Structure 1
Amino acid sequence: MTRFDLERIGSGLPFADALPTLREALAATGTAVVQAPPGTGKTTLVPPAVAVADGVTGRVVVTQPRRVAARSAAHRLARLTGTEPGGPVGYSVRGDSTVGRDTRVEFVTPGVLVRRLISDPDLPGVGAVVLDEVHERDVESDLAFALLCELRQLRDDLPVVAMSATVEADRFARLLGGSTGDGHAPAPVVDVPAVLHPLEVRYAPPPATRLDARGVTDGFLDHVATVTADEVRASGHDTLVFLPGVREIERVVRLLSARLGEAAEILPLHGGLDPTAQDRAVSGSGRAGGGSRPRVVVSTDLAESSLTVPGVRVVVDACLSREPRRDTARDMTGLVTVSASRDSCLQRAGRAARLGPGRAVRCLSEQEFAHLPSHRSPAITTSDLTTFTLDVACWGAPRGEGLALPDAPPVGELARAESVLRGLGALAADGRATDRGRDLARVPADPRHARALLDGASLVGPRAAAEVVALLASDRRSPGGDLAADLRALRSGRAPDARAWQQQARRMERIAREGRAAGSPAGGRDGREDTAGLVIALAHPDRIARRRGDQYTFASGTGAVLPPGSALVGREWLAVAEVGRAAGRAAGEAGAVIRGAAAISRDDALDAASPFVNDDETAHFDGRSLTGRRVRRLGAIELSSTPVRPSHDAAVEAVSTAVRAGGFPALGPDDDALALWRRLALARRELGEPWPDVSAAGLAERLDEWLGPEIAALAQGPTIAGRDLGPALKRLLPWPEAGSFDELVPERLKVPSSSSYRVDYPEPGSDGAPVLAAKLQECFGWTTSPRICGGRVPVTVHLLSPAGRPLAVTRDLEFFWREAYPGVRAEMRGRYPKHPWPEDPMTAEPTRDTNRKR
């Protein structure tokens, strides 16, 4: 059995002093949380220390958040043990594995560990697990941590160590120890303080903005290159530059090469490089002739904490980060450039002070730095969770319920992911994985890509399906958005990334051949132009799109436009793999641009998205008549529409929709029906149950009950007549209370002259009062204002002139006659001399007649 020489491996590493504390923690609880800043040696020293701990007999699996970090850590530890990767130390990442029978420490990515856990939760042959850089909070790291916390309840012989470079150690210690209410103590924390030399921090704000609607501005990248070149010339030290993505790295590398020439070695570092180029950037052996040329490594944030670049004494930080974001409205998920968090910037700066006094330059103002977010957002709260949702369903914890996740996933995003997976046949109605889902989960790819690979192999052949899926999984940015053209370039070997794509395609082809059912056809369309579109449609049936003018409508209901000059312009049907946000008119009304797609035929679109195809009968009510159509759709894309006589259910739905939107008036009632509606509304407002709710929602809820016969007739062709709506509305009157309705809420009220007048009731939903309008002379002697609803509601009386114009509005007739009438009499008797204006109206005889007729 391999014995690691910890004294030799830990020579000069600050973490060596913490080894006794780590051993005590593992001996006591089998768990530990290590908190140690970057550069203290935890990644190098903890795995072999765990491997030689008492009771650990199997392989120690160590996670690193990125493939390049896993390979680099394995190479470094192997070098310190005097061996090569594949011996006592190995690694396994997507598409690349170097392990042997004697491997005791294996570095893997969190995704590899999650696949193994789901395939065999007991982790046979594994003696311990070390989760490194858990503070980075990507989805697979969080999930691997949660699954191991649950596995520890079944395998208490499995030591688990979580390592973090930030202050979240206590949080992970509580979760790992099971101290969430079950009485367990937190896992022990092994805290190693930073050992840094003096660090000078300088701020170099750019003359223009860092970000605009398109992303990082070219002017800001020029500024970063200028600052870096000045620092290299002034110090002569190896320099590490932090930028958010590949485009920015490539531009700054070009600018630095032009400005520094042979005075420095300029090296890019990002996940898209081949392993040789990555190893060159992190090897620390770039200086030729004993260190005559400084090295400038231009990197993404993978060099922030999970990867060490040796020899660095200067850091130039753009203070930007690329984080996953989910745009639910447009059904897009992608990486978005944002300001980095303060804790990330602090870790980046610390890289300059590991070997001696260092210098960090932040390309923003000190005031801007103070306003940066304190911590980065956990990826589980902002990412597409389709893979996560399938993984937890296969584990037996649908939606992650009951798992010790550091942060709960958003409910809305889980629901969307479940909908996608049900469309793939991967989830049952209760959220648990189907056999189909378990087949997809065994493929080391996004479930949508896995579906395209396995189903596409039977339609177009394993090789063709694998090539398209390898293209989709490569995250390459298509220059023109035409993925079929990209596929041709990759097949010919002209594309710079053709070699990496070919390796991935061969790997996917092996998986496709193993996963294809015995006896299934090999496919007869290998090499055809439409292969790419069909396989993409299998991966993203919800993104099948049909042209509507200048815009494409997706099966999901969202829309996007093609970029100007795209070779796909004019194609009727597209299978879309990538959609991005774009500013201005270029994004169309939908605000989205198609970044990667391939043409597809209508028949292939229908085959690939067969679960989305449905025939639906719709009806529309315009206030009088009803029309019906039978519509065939692919999701939200209308394929055909035929006029039909609407069914009763469709008619009820159409009328109900109209009523919910416009209330009772949407049915076109006559005046009598409107008056009855207002009377019912007042009875409901003042008396409550059992009087019916005649609001828009209330009427729509009971529509078939009170308007059923009229709707049945409407479906046969005639319009609804306004005069029919009053009798229909009366069907809502409760029995036996209906007998007192006219007394409680009268249609008309009698005035002292023996005339009766209609009561005007307020609009439903308002708090207005009923109104009675009558000529003043007809109300002589009326001293008590009328009340309705059993005396609960006073009626407002409008007293009119002989010409029918309002003279007064009152609810207190006695007060009016006594206080206001004298003034009205003085003004009106000269204007209307033919009508009576007695001095004492409370004793005068009410009349409708003039003085002559009397």
Structure 2
Amino acid sequence: MTTEPFDPSRIGRGLAFAAAVDDLAAALDRSNSVVVSAPPGTGKTTLVPPVIADRVPGRVIVTQPRRVAARAAARRLAQLDGTPLGSRVGFTVRGERQVGPSTRIEFVTAGVLLRRLLDDPGLDGVGAVIIDEVHERALETDLLIGLLGEVRELRDDLVLVAMSATLDAERFATVLGSDAAPAPIVTQSVPAHPLEVRWAPSPTPRLDERGVTWAFLDHVASTAVIAHRALVRTDPTADALVFAPGAREVAEIARRIRGLASEFDVRELHGQIPAAEQDAVIGGRSPGTPARIIVSTSLAESSLTVPGVRLVVDTCLSRAPQRDAGRGMSGLVTGPTPRASAIQRSGRATRQGPGIVVRCVDERTFAAAPTHPAPEIQAADLTDAALLLACWGAPGGVGLRLVDPLPSASLSDALSVLRGLGSIDADGRATDEGRALARIPTDPRLARALLLGGALVGGRTAAEVIALLSSDLRVADGDAAGTLTALRSGRSPDARRWEQEVRRLERFTASKGTTRGSSDQVGLVIALAFPDWIARRVDHSAHGATFLLASGTRAGITGPLAGAEWLAVADVTRAQGRAAAGTGAIIRSAAVLSESEAEQAATHLVTDRVEAQFVDGRVVARRERRIGAIVRSSVPVRVQADDGGRTAARRALEEQGLGVFPWSEAADGLRRRLALLHRELGSPWPDVSDAALLGTLDSWLGPELSALASGTPASRIDLAPALRRVLPWPAAVDLDTLAPERLEVPSGSRVRLSYPPIDDPVARPVVAVKLQECFGWAETPRLVGGRVPALFHLLSPAGHPLAVTDDLASFWAGPYAQVRAEMRGRYPKHPWPEDPWSHVPTKHTTRRAALG
């Protein structure tokens, strides 16, 4: 490897960051960890790597969040260095590599470096790692910061630099620094060229239930054409950059602009176009060629410089992952662009001079947008990240200095997937199978399907399907098999890029050869990757179909696959509109699957068992064959008092409470008496509330629970015998003394006591008795060992209440006289003596009492 130094003064000529080179050198003298904070366009990506390379032995690795940015940065630095690309300066991205033995600076994507770390945790031969664009908070970049922090604990000579284009440098300095002090921060500002901000709100909504509206795309296209025509009249060298949320919108806006303005060279820039076309856009335009309008996704937001741009037209829409915890899925959702990102976009127009930004919203809508984009770690699928961390020896990121911890719910879902793949053990450590999957540069589920599918359908077919699924290619009408057919025929413009990915993936399969399987086998490979998303149709209408996934989620689909019985789903995401069929989710990529293939791909989800349920007051059972949540067949069978029946009975009691039983008078009365004793005396008298009884079912309801589990209707089960099992012996012998069922009154009658409801903490037992049966009774009876006075409801001969008292002596001495005056005329056949103390208590009329 050559040791000839770079020439930062020549490379940095005209770059604003050249003024900060001395500050960077001073920071590196103090610390091996540095944070560089400078706005886009200052030249930090071009100048920092050669400065570092001249200070450290070994190679300098520079990460970029996107492949196109890695290639562009390497090409520009090599050009400024005056050396061929791939010699002193090179790059490695997925599917493409230009690096030689003399390479000192290598630009890579974050994903490439993550997998390189698994093979070489010490980064042998690497003197420094520069992590660029950390402010974008890409998941892989966040993981790199954590892993490289551990590498530096073993290698204190390794230089680690994080570069940010925004003002959140202090946060990264804390993470990259030590416990004693944060990493030093090197900042560089640049005098801003004037930016004229214009507002061009659309007269129609930007979004509806189906996504971005066609009318809004029309508005964006016409706005771009009008603004650019006006600009090129005064500056023919100016190009325009239009920001759209996704590749679909990029293509539609570009098509509309071509129809409106043939004088412009309209280019598209997004991850789905071939690398050569991406590089051509970034390379600028030649003198004398038409002015360009470049329609781009967020790809051009911060990590790329598109030369010549003086006008930015911004939809102020972005597409970002958003997690649906209820369905256990993450999907790309279109919404307002965060203001920080919109400012980054507008900065594209002023990198090389004064510029204009036209925002296709009004000022109020812009102000209502989120301030900053959410870190990808908060919404992304963490399966790949969790496997990488398990292979690293830090399951769940425990012990790593991460910018943000992994969200617990998403991490739990990811670990569940990995356990289903056999990739991690019970302690979360990577298994041999997991390490094998981690070394295949794709999602672990796709890696598994590549290996297993290669053995079933051939390595070529498996690689073709996985190349389609792992790319960002659009699947027309959600039909993965149809898209694959177009790619195989070469009709698709993405065929060449896809073919390169196929050849790369095929190297990892054990089954080689070029024999292609039929399109019918696409579903099997997809199902091997996503067994939880095997789906069966449950509803079909003119507007589409609803499918139930093995995971339990329902999702809608329209188009040719709506008529299929079974589908292997590769992409399902949150959505609204007719296609979602009221489910809140939509299938975006799938292939037809047979039931036998579904069973073959999801053996761990296949069950054949008796399921018991509580229906209309009794336990019923059915034998069900399922794939996850999908019921393949269900037939009634005789209920058995086994675990299934008991589980169903328990579940019914937990959900519906003890009200499933018809409480007899004896059972309800005994429960009320016990509740009063527990309230007044406590232990050993038991708590008989619903919560307490439901928590101790086996100790008091065992035989009845077995009967219920065997199919006996709840209406035929008496709880009185069961409640007697909770009586505390030997204290239970005092039950009738402390809380008698009946009370003998002076007339000789034994009147039933009405005990208070179990959930009333102040009510007292009630004795409802005819007034005449209590003549001469002075002392009110007290229950529970004298603690609780009974409450008397004194009744008329017809059973109507006349008075309520817990002090009989006071009643006879006072209120009785008024009651006598009002009632003696109404009930003349019954005794109403002036002196109730001396009259014989009776339950009969005066005449019958006299007859004796």
Structure-1-length-normalised TM-score: 0.93
Aligned to 1:141: 141
Aligned to 2:721: 727
Structure 2 counterpart SS, 1:444: coil
Aligned to 1:241: 242
Equivalent positions of 1:658-807 (< 5 A) are: 658-712=652-706, 722=716, 724-767=718-761, 769=763, 770-782=765-777, 785-807=780-802
Aligned to 2:472: 475
Report whether the alignment pairs 1:10 with 2:12: yes
Q: For residues 640 and 91 of structure 1, do their structure 2 counterparts lie closer, same or farther at Cα, with a shift above 3 Å needed?
A: same
Distance 2:10 2:837 in 1: 116
| Matched AA of 1:84 | P
Whether the 8 Å CA contact 1:341–1:375 is kept in 2: the answer is yes
Distance 1:6 1:819 in 2: 111
Whether the 8 Å CA contact 2:458–2:517 is kept in 1: the answer is no
Distance 2:807 2:479 in 1: 80
Report whether the alignment pairs 1:350 with 2:347: yes
Distance 1:733 1:827 in 2: 47
The one of 186, 189, 193 aligned to 2:189:
193
C-alpha offsets along residues 221-240 of structure 1, whole Å, 9 cap, x if unaligned?
22222222222122223222
Aligned to 1:614: 607
Equivalent positions of 1:523-602 (< 5 A) are: 526-550=516-540, 551-563=546-558, 566-602=559-595
Whether the 8 Å CA contact 1:617–1:646 is kept in 2: the answer is no
Aligned to 1:407: 404
Distance 2:573 2:721 in 1: 56
The one of 620, 623, 631 aligned to 1:627:
620
Distance 2:838 2:474 in 1: 95
Structure 2 counterpart SS, 1:124: coil
Q: How many pairs does the alignment contain?
A: 835
The one of 496, 503, 506 aligned to 1:499:
496
Gaps of at least 5 residues in structure 1 are: none
Whether the 8 Å CA contact 2:36–2:163 is kept in 1: the answer is yes
Distance 1:705 1:427 in 2: 40
Equivalent positions of 1:205-224 (< 5 A) are: 205-224=201-220
Q: For residues 686 and 255 of structure 1, do their structure 2 counterparts lie closer, same or farther at Cα, with a shift above 3 Å needed?
A: farther
Whether the 8 Å CA contact 2:646–2:709 is kept in 1: the answer is no
Q: Give the Å deviation of 1:785.
A: 5.0
C-alpha offsets along residues 822-853 of structure 1, whole Å, 9 cap, x if unaligned?
55444433322222334555665543122222
| Matched AA of 2:390 | A
Structure 2 counterpart SS, 1:337: strand
Q: For residues 137 and 831 of structure 1, do their structure 2 counterparts lie closer, same or farther at Cα, with a shift above 3 Å needed?
A: same
| Matched AA of 1:396 | G
Structure 1 counterpart SS, 2:508: helix
Whether the 8 Å CA contact 1:660–1:697 is kept in 2: the answer is no
Whether the 8 Å CA contact 2:325–2:409 is kept in 1: the answer is no
Whether the 8 Å CA contact 2:324–2:574 is kept in 1: the answer is no
Report whether the alignment pairs 1:32 with 2:34: yes
Q: For residues 169 and 795 of structure 1, do their structure 2 counterparts lie closer, same or farther at Cα, with a shift above 3 Å needed?
A: farther
C-alpha offsets along residues 376-412 of structure 1, whole Å, 9 cap, x if unaligned?
1111111111111111111111111121111112111
Aligned to 2:395: 398
Gaps of at least 5 residues in structure 2 are: 233-237, 541-545
Q: For residues 214 and 714 of structure 1, do their structure 2 counterparts lie closer, same or farther at Cα, with a shift above 3 Å needed?
A: closer
Aligned to 1:311: 308
Distance 1:787 1:303 in 2: 87
Distance 1:523 1:21 in 2: 57
Structure 2 counterpart SS, 1:480: helix
Q: Give the Å deviation of 1:581.
A: 3.2
Whether the 8 Å CA contact 2:59–2:104 is kept in 1: the answer is yes
Q: Give the Å deviation of 1:330.
A: 2.6
Whether the 8 Å CA contact 2:63–2:132 is kept in 1: the answer is yes
Distance 2:608 2:517 in 1: 34
Q: For residues 93 and 717 of structure 1, do their structure 2 counterparts lie closer, same or farther at Cα, with a shift above 3 Å needed?
A: closer
Report whether the alignment pairs 1:440 with 2:433: no
Q: Give the Å deviation of 1:753.
A: 3.2
Structure 1 counterpart SS, 2:725: helix
| Matched AA of 1:632 | R
| Matched AA of 1:189 | I
Structure 1 counterpart SS, 2:143: helix
Percentage of pairs with the same residue:
56
C-alpha offsets along residues 527-557 of structure 1, whole Å, 9 cap, x if unaligned?
1343111100100000111223433221111
Q: For residues 800 and 360 of structure 1, do their structure 2 counterparts lie closer, same or farther at Cα, with a shift above 3 Å needed?
A: same
Whether the 8 Å CA contact 1:670–1:723 is kept in 2: the answer is no
Q: Give the Å deviation of 1:813.
A: 4.9
Distance 1:86 1:65 in 2: 20
Distance 1:355 1:254 in 2: 28
Bigger mean CA deviation after superposition, 129-138 or 97-106: 97-106
Q: Give the Å deviation of 1:614.
A: 2.5
Aligned to 1:389: 386
Whether the 8 Å CA contact 2:580–2:586 is kept in 1: the answer is yes
Q: For residues 602 and 751 of structure 1, do their structure 2 counterparts lie closer, same or farther at Cα, with a shift above 3 Å needed?
A: same
Whether the 8 Å CA contact 2:331–2:574 is kept in 1: the answer is no
Q: For residues 524 and 155 of structure 1, do their structure 2 counterparts lie closer, same or farther at Cα, with a shift above 3 Å needed?
A: closer
Structure 2 counterpart SS, 1:298: strand
Q: Provide runs of 4+ in structure 1 moved above 6 Å.
A: 521-525
Whether the 8 Å CA contact 1:204–1:363 is kept in 2: the answer is yes
Structure 2 counterpart SS, 1:830: coil
Distance 1:214 1:623 in 2: 42
Distance 1:221 1:787 in 2: 84
Structure 2 counterpart SS, 1:561: strand
Distance 2:518 2:747 in 1: 94
C-alpha offsets along residues 243-270 of structure 1, whole Å, 9 cap, x if unaligned?
21111111211222222221x2222111
Whether the 8 Å CA contact 1:130–1:160 is kept in 2: the answer is yes
Aligned to 2:130: 130
Structure 2 counterpart SS, 1:596: strand
| Matched AA of 2:534 | I
C-alpha offsets along residues 166-221 of structure 1, whole Å, 9 cap, x if unaligned?
12111110110133xxxx21100001123212222222222222222222222222
Distance 1:787 1:203 in 2: 84
Aligned to 1:837: 832
| Matched AA of 1:410 | P
Distance 1:560 1:357 in 2: 49
Report whether the alignment pairs 1:95 with 2:88: no
Distance 2:524 2:602 in 1: 10
Report whether the alignment pairs 1:202 with 2:192: no
Aligned to 2:159: 159
Structure-2-length-normalised TM-score: 0.93
Aligned to 1:341: 338
Report whether the alignment pairs 1:112 with 2:112: yes
C-alpha offsets along residues 116-164 of structure 1, whole Å, 9 cap, x if unaligned?
1122211112110000000100111100111111111111110000011
Whether the 8 Å CA contact 1:86–1:100 is kept in 2: the answer is yes
Distance 1:458 1:330 in 2: 32
Bigger mean CA deviation after superposition, 741-750 or 464-473: 741-750
Whether the 8 Å CA contact 2:58–2:127 is kept in 1: the answer is yes
Q: For residues 530 and 801 of structure 1, do their structure 2 counterparts lie closer, same or farther at Cα, with a shift above 3 Å needed?
A: farther
| Matched AA of 1:224 | V
| Matched AA of 1:707 | L
Aligned to 1:84: 84
C-alpha offsets along residues 580-622 of structure 1, whole Å, 9 cap, x if unaligned?
3343454234332222211222222112111112233333345
Q: For residues 618 and 154 of structure 1, do their structure 2 counterparts lie closer, same or farther at Cα, with a shift above 3 Å needed?
A: same
Aligned to 2:650: 656
